[in-house]
Structure 1
Amino acid sequence: MPECMVIMTRRPLEGQVFSVLEEQVQNIASIAQSGNTPIARGLVTVTVGNQVPEGIDVTTNLIFKSYPEYDDFQAGLMDNEAYIKRFDAIASKCQFVSIDLCEIIRPSEGRPEGFNAKYIVRNVFTAKPGKRSELIDVLVEQRESLTPGSPKANILKPLSSWDQIRSARTFDSYQALAESLNQIESPANRSGWGRVVDLTDQMTRTISKIQYTM
């Protein structure tokens, strides 16, 4: 049974970024500390780099070992008045809140010993009509040739979309992040990256700082 990831994105109102960030970290930390959670892994991040006019997001990733575990977890939250009040309080400080459920096609893996993830680069690919499965195959191949020293990128298939694919990779420094992006666009990788481009209608990239992990 495949693992799944919930991606919750909050776009704070002006002047509320760090308030939303702090409250969301506290919210997830309280769930983690309860000692009775099916969440396998999770993190909370804040945007530090993206294209204009995109804003700053506070994003939470939660990984579950199976869909049934997430189903039970979500049902429990819906019956938890304290959680609902916290959720609404944070949401009141945001322009919007979005939640996406994704199947994990490939997990982030190959974490070097002593690696300390500080940043995460999130990519969203919109495949050409009918080409999502083919694009997933190419991205799986591509991740094997990326620069060493950082975990391999995950590859996610959103259940809410026919054509989107998400992929993210963590780094321990801006230097490592920049080297990886340069390698993707290098002449040596031109053929492989060209296959990705040929199958894609749109690509977006954001860089975020990891503020909390569980």
Structure 2
Amino acid sequence: MPSYVLQSRRVAKPGLGQKVLDAVVAQFKSSSTKGNVSISVNAPTGSGHLIVGARVLDSIDEIEKVNDNVINSMSILDSIDTHCTDVQAQILKVLAPGENLPSNPKYMARNILKAKPGKAQELASLLLEIRDLYGDDMKPLITVPYVGNQDIVRATAIYDSLSSFEKHSDAINGDKFKSAVQKVRDLRQSYIRHTARMVYLGN
């Protein structure tokens, strides 16, 4: 299973979303790394569209190679970042991969939970338990930051349509998940969820 996700998060300046999106997709196409590019028009950015590029890597050594290559490609990154109001890079450690994914992935739902102080590990364990409750259904990717805020736990799910997303969301509000979901509410300090349209998928 993949060990890490290297995620670049950009908020495009108003009116420059297409330009940034095209540049990020071109960058991914020029690389042999597994990953995807998505755009969200409903993420709470406060300004332009959120464009996320996520590279899937099998080891920390691969992340180091990517970081080393950045030094030689700063001009390319700068040419993209100049059209953004915010740029962030994150290294996420994979606790459990996505499973039973749709054959035609179209949407991504990012669930970002901040645990109460000292409760991040307990929250992560609980999300892994909930993930297992899905059985043969689609199981989300569970990650935590390798660096940065250590109180964050993320669950990322992939769908072939918004109706599939709605069905999945309705299921987690059912009796099967009720007890576990309440435990999550007791452990979390905050919770943000937004959807993104996948525009590029590299295998």
Q: 1:177 to 1:54 in 2, by over 3 A?
A: farther
1:174 corresponds, among 162, 167, 171, to 162
Residue in 1 aligned with 2:36? 43
- Tell me how large the CA RMSD over aligned residues is: 1.9
Q: 1:105 to 1:30 in 2, by over 3 A?
A: same
Alignment of 1:125 onto 2:113? yes
- Percent identity (aligned): 25
> CA 1:103/1:15 → structure 2, altered by over 3 Å: closer, same or farther?
same
Distance 1:2 1:176 in 2: 25
Alignment of 1:1-214 (within 5 A): 3-32=3-32, 39=33, 41-50=34-43, 53=46, 55-78=48-71, 80=72, 83-111=73-101, 115-146=103-134, 149-150=137-138, 152-159=139-146, 160-214=148-202
Q: Which amino acid in structure 1 is aligned with residue 8 of structure 2?
A: M
Give the SS at the match of 1:202. Answer: strand
CA contact (8 A) 1:147 1:180 kept: no
User: Runs ≥4 in structure 1, deviation > 4 angstroms?
Assistant: 51-55
Unaligned runs of 5+ in 1: 33-38
Secondary structure, counterpart of 1:144 in structure 2: helix
Q: Is the 8 A contact 1:7 1:61 kept in 2?
A: yes
Q: CA deviation at 1:72?
A: 1.7
Alpha-carbon distance in structure 1 between the residues aligned to 2:130 and 2:173: 12
Deviation at 1:208, TM superposition (A): 0.3
**Is this contact kept in 2: 1:2–1:103, CA < 8 A?**
no
What is the CA distance between 1:65 and its match in structure 2?
0.5
Cα distance, 1:59–1:134 mapped onto 2, change above 3 Å = same
Instruction: Verify the 8 A CA contact 2:14 2:48 in the aligned structure 1.
Output: no
Partner SS state of residue 190, structure 2? strand
Cα distance in 2 for residues equivalent to 1:147 and 1:11: 36
Distance of 1:145 and 1:21 partners within structure 2: 36
Partner of 1:36: none
Runs of 5+ consecutive residues of structure 2 not aligned to the other structure: none
TM-score, normalised relative to structure 2: 0.92
Other structure's SS at 1:162 match = coil
Higher mean alpha-carbon deviation, 99-108 vs 179-188, is at: 179-188
Residue 69 of structure 1 and its aligned partner are, at CA, apart by 1.4
Contact 2:113 2:153 in 1 (8 A): yes
Question: For 2:5, what is the secondary structure of its paired residue?
Answer: strand
Normalization by structure 1: what TM-score?
A: 0.87
Quote how far apart the aligned CAs of 1:104 are.
0.5
Superposed displacement of residue 68, structure 1: 1.1
